[in-house]
Amino acid sequence: MLNIVLFGPPGAGKGTQSSKLVEKFNLVHLSTGDIFRFNIKNETELGRLAKSYIDAGNLVPDEVTINMLEKEVTQYSDAKGFIFDGFPRTVPQAEALDMFLKSKNTSIQLMLALVVEEEELIKRLLLRGKDSGRADDTDESIIRNRIQVYNEQTAVAAKFYEAQGKYHAINGVGSVDEIFERLSSIIVEKQQ
| Contact residues: ligand ADP, CB under 6 A | 10-11, 32-33, 36, 53-54, 57-60, 65, 86-87, 89, 93, 136, 146
Among this protein's residues, is 128 annotated catalytic? yes
List CB contacts of 95: < 8 A, sequence separation 6 or more.
160
Among this protein's residues, is 102 annotated catalytic? no
Q: Cβ–Cβ contacts within 10 Å for residue 177, how many? A: 9
Q: Which is nearer to ligand ADP, 30 or 187 (CB)?
A: 30
Among this protein's residues, is 144 annotated catalytic? no
Question: Taking the complex as a whole, how short is the minimal distance between the CB of residue 150 and ligand ADP, in angstroms?
Answer: 8
Q: Of 74, 77, 51, 49, give the one whose Cα is nearest residue 63.
A: 49
Catalytic site residue from 20, 37, 51, 89: 89
* Residue 186 phi, psi dihedral angles, 5° rounding: -70, -40
* Residue 107 phi, psi dihedral angles, 5° rounding: -160, 175
Q: Which is nearer to ligand ADP, 86 or 172 (CB)?
A: 86
CA angle at 94 for the pair 18 and 25, rounded to the nearest 5°: 25
Return the SS3 of 123: helix
Q: Which is nearer to ligand ADP, 58 or 190 (CB)?
A: 58
Going 27 to 30 to 34 to 39, the CA torsion angle's sign is positive
Question: Taking the complex as a whole, how short is the minimal distance between the CB of residue 192 and ligand ADP, in angstroms?
Answer: 30
Catalytic site residue from 128, 144, 182, 190: 128
Are 118 and 41 in contact by the 8 Å Cβ rule? The answer is no
Catalytic site residue from 37, 124, 146, 166: 146
Q: Which is nearer to ligand ADP, 60 or 113 (CB)?
A: 60
Pairing mode, strands 81-85 and 110-115: unpaired
Among this protein's residues, is 104 annotated catalytic? no
Among this protein's residues, is 89 annotated catalytic? yes
Catalytic site residue from 20, 102, 130, 134: 134
Closest-by-Cβ residue to ligand ADP is 33
Question: Which positions are catalytic?
Answer: 14, 89, 128, 134, 146
